[in-house]
Amino acid sequence: MTSSSAASRKALSKIACNRLQKELVEWQVNPPAGFKHKVTDNLQRWVIEVIGAPGTLYANEKYQLQVDFPEHYPMEAPQVIFLHPAPLHPHIYSNGHICLDILYDSWSPAMTVSSVCISILSMLSSSTAKQRPPDNDRYVRNCRNGRSPKETRWWFHDDKV
């Protein structure tokens, strides 16, 4: 459902291409622990496999992250969502949208796909309950037309979880 909005996105700028090439090389040399990226020829969309960290509620569970890069990456944040089925987590909606400040307001161009992945894994690892956000149904209903999570005005409750 998000593929339509991804398709309509403009092609990567020269700067974005160069930067992503470098991130890709770095990833291949030094991938973040717990993540696997199947390299394709599509630089603008990465699909990354996440494995829940041992000793956490998500140990050995496998999920998939989809990362779409905008034209002016890294000045603009990438769009990061979980593909179906998204992990049960108080900050992850059933449509895969993730409530995490660095993906939106707190994004900085000095962050990378790798640093985003590490943040997401740490968010999963620190969860103490496998449950959906309390407003899941309402939020998902409002996103039905393939709205990007970047269009949401997020309200970041607590950054502990």
Partner 1 sequence: MGSEEDMHDANDVQSVEDDFYTGETGMGSEDDDYNFGDNYSDDSEDVTSHRQQQNYTILSEADIRQHQGENINRVSTVLSIPRYAACILLRHYNWSISRVHDEWFADEEHVRKAVGLLERTVELSNARELTCGICFENYPCGRMSSASCGHPFCGACWRGYISTSVSDGPGCLMLRCPDPSCGAAVGQNMIDVLTTSEDKEKYSRYLLRSYVEDNRKIKWCPAPGCEFAVEFVIGSGSYDVCCSCSYSFCWNCAEEAHRPVDCATVAKWILKNSAESENMNWILANSKPCPKCKRPIEKNQGCMHITCTPPCKFEFCWLCLGPWSEHGERTGGFYACNRYEAAKQEGAYDESERRREMAKNSLERYTHYYERWATNQSSRQKALADLHSMQTEKLEKLSDTQSQPESQLKFIIEAWLQIVECRRVLKWTYAYGFYLPEHEHAKRQFFEYLQGEAESGLERLHQCAEKELQVYLDAEGPMADFNDFRTKLAGLTSVTKNYFENLVRALETGLKDVGTSNNQATCSKGSSSKSLGNKSKSGKIKAVAGSSSGSGAPSRSFDDGNLWSCDRCTYANPRSTTTCQMCEHHK
Q: CA separation (Å) from 95 to 106, 114, 133?
A: 22, 23, 12
Q: Is 17 in the site for partner 1 (CB under 8 A)?
A: no
From 17, 99, 117, 143, the catalytic residue: 99
- Between 23 and 68, CB nearer to partner 1: 23
Annotation marks residue 17 as catalytic: no
Q: Is 157 in the site for partner 1 (CB under 8 A)?
A: no
Dihedral-angle region of residue 146 (phi above 0 means left; psi in -120 to 50 means alpha; beta otherwise)? left
Sheet holding 62-68, edge to edge: 35-37, 45-51, 62-68, 79-82
Given 3, 54, 62, 72, the residue binding partner 1 (CB under 8 A): 72
Q: Is 9 in the site for partner 1 (CB under 8 A)?
A: no
Chain positions contacting partner 1, by CB under 8 A: 15, 18-19, 22-23, 72, 74-76, 102, 106, 108-111, 115
